[in-house]
Amino acid sequence: MAIIEKHKPGSFCWVELGTSSQIGAKQFYGPLFGWATNDFPMGPDEFYTIFRVDGQDTGGGYTLKPDMLAQGVPPHWILYIAVDSADAAANKAAEAGATVVAPAFDVMSIGRMAVLKDPTGAVFCVWENKGHKGTGITAVPGTLCWADLSTPDQAAAAKFYADVFGWELTPGEDTSGYLHIKNGEDFIGGVPTAEQRAPDAPPHWMLYFQVESCDAATDQAKQLGGRVYMEPFTMERVGRMSVVADPQGAVFSLFEPMPNA
């Protein structure tokens, strides 16, 4: 277990679930990941759910608003990236070709954020900490451990994120063409080639959550009403993983790291 005191710029600092049923989401993710939940009122008949492991925040969730549903926004997980300034990051991203979905705005007194779409179409958020650091724990079951960018244009995406966040994107030891994302000294995610992604899937960030057993967690996801898109498989010297969706349709991956991987 590792407690996170502060997220350095360019790191993945928060994950958030937009869902059609917060109650259903809590009934699914609570047993699956051992998440405890805290609900915070956000207005009439609205609340924001904080998911927690060992007393530390691991992510949040909210119910999709009617206007989002009318625009066809499906239940989904979204990734937040830590920045020193949400305004500066949004401006820099726009200059690099991103679409600003929501300009920088204050989230009460705890932070400032913006919603962006990279030049290849994947949506993400930037977060400026003003009181809420984001996730507070890593390297235990139920926490974010990796994120892959599924994009039809690997080269354009790599240039964009390197320019905006200073990431180093480099090929691995094999010849698959997969790019590893390195933020400073930390490997945090990757970018598969276009051939390694489902061609009919929109560009997106795929979040990986650590579990003790990928097979057991995948079976449990089924029992809890989830859908399995990719059954558990082993990646040599890395770990075992699967791709599932919760009962409302939000897609994510389960990951069991290899011992000493």
| CATH code of the domain containing 23 | 3.10.180.10
CA-nearest of 45, 29, 15 to 146 is 15
207-239: pLDDT as tens digits: 999 999 999 999 999 999 999 999 999 998 899
0.85 surpassed by pTM: yes
- pLDDT band, very low/low/confident/very high, at 14 (cuts 50, 70, 90): very high
Q: Quote the CA–CA distance of 19 and 67 in Å, as a whole number.
A: 13
Kindly state whether residues 97 and 176 are assigned to the same domain: no
**Per-residue pLDDT for 129 more than 60?**
yes
The tens digit of pLDDT for each residue in 52-107 reads 999 999 999 999 999 998 999 999 999 999 999 999 999 999 999 999 999 999 99
Whether residues 58 and 82 share a domain: the answer is yes
The β-bridge relationship of strands 239-245 and 227-235 is: antiparallel
Q: Is 73 found in the same domain as 158?
A: no
Same domain, yes or no: 62 and 181:
no
Percent of the chain at pLDDT above 90? 89
Count of domains forming the chain:
2
Residues 8 and 124 in one domain: yes
Q: What residues form DSSP beta bridges with 206? A: 148
Average pLDDT over the chain, rounded to an integer? 95
**What integer pLDDT is reported at residue 1 of this predicted model?**
62
More confident residue, 176 or 17: 17
Give the model's pLDDT for residue 176. Answer: 86
User: 241 lies in which domain range?
Assistant: 137-257
Please state which of the ranges 2-6, 86-90, 256-260 shows the lowest mean pLDDT.
256-260
CA 205 to chain CA mean position, Å: 6
209 and 91 both lie in a single domain: no
Q: Is the pLDDT of residue 164 over 70?
A: yes
Is residue 248 domain-shared with residue 154, that is, in the same domain?
yes
- Of the three residues 129, 150, 184, the one that is the final residue of a domain is 129
Domain boundary among 76, 105, 129: 129
Is residue 74 domain-shared with residue 156, that is, in the same domain? no
Residue 174 predicted with pLDDT over 80: no
Both 76 and 101 in one domain: the answer is: yes
